[in-house]
Amino acid sequence: MNERIDNPAVQPAPPGPAAPAPRCQWPAPRWRIGAVAALLGAAAAIGYGFLRSEEPTEDLARFQGEWQLAVPAGDDEQDTPAAAQLKPVIVRIHGDRWIYIANGNEQRRYAITLRPDTDPKEIDLIQLTANDQPLLQQWPPPPQPVTIRGIYAFERNRAKVATSIGNEPRPTSFAATDGVTVWLLERRR
């Protein structure tokens, strides 16, 4: 229905002063959008820092679960799982407890203390009695907790731990030497 209307009464308005164009409120200048986004991002990051719960260490969370215990087959610090000798021992780490399990039975239990901010990262295992109290070494006096001092490192689903016992100094590398035992932990679950 395209009809042409030739009505002289309907004439276009005479040209006059142009009406001001309506002011557009959107979009805002790009710098404003960027500034608002940056402020929101900074506020979210600061809020996350205040609201997140404190964890003992991220490394302690990585240790959680069951591990197959192995010892390196040689003196090479880069031993691979294939070159390691598996032991019939499982290490179960739950919370801050390190538990050795052999033949399905708990053998020894330790409390874990990690110091991930050191280089190399340090671990202390304090042996516990059946009622979760530190086992005390009586000789030489004074009595003190039986502590295994060591270092540790993670490699994907594997952990390497080098330890010394008694009054021996803490190891500084993962080389097996007199007084230093190196353990490889392969994650089971």
pLDDT over 70 percentage in the chain = 63
Q: Which residue has the tokens 């516990």?
A: 128
User: Confidence band (pLDDT; 50, 70, 90) for 52?
Assistant: very low
Helix, strand, coil share (%) of the chain residues, nearest 5: 15, 40, 45
DSSP alpha helix (H) spans, 52-145: 58-63
Q: Which residue has the tokens 């600061």?
A: 46
User: pLDDT for 74-90, tens place per residue?
Assistant: 654 455 555 567 788 99
Q: Which residue has the tokens 């001001």?
A: 20
User: pLDDT for 137-147, tens place per residue?
Assistant: 888 888 999 99
CA 52 to centroid of chain Cα atoms: 14
CATH, domain 58-187, list 2.40.128, 2.20.28, 1.20.1250, 2.70.50 = 2.40.128
Mean pLDDT of 92-119: 95
Phi-psi region of 108 (alpha: psi -120 to 50; beta: other; left: phi over 0): beta
All structural domains of the chain with their residue ranges: 58-187
Q: Can you read off the two tokens belonging to residue 90?
A: 């499982």
Q: How far apart are CA 78 and CA 122, in angstroms?
A: 19
> Is pLDDT at 171 greater than 80 in this prediction?
yes
Name the helix (H) or strand (E) containing 51. Answer: helix 30-51
Most confident of the ranges 13-17, 26-30, 33-37, 120-124: 120-124
> Is pLDDT at 54 greater than 60 in this prediction?
no
User: Confidence band (pLDDT; 50, 70, 90) for 67?
Assistant: very high
pLDDT higher for 51 or 169?
A: 169
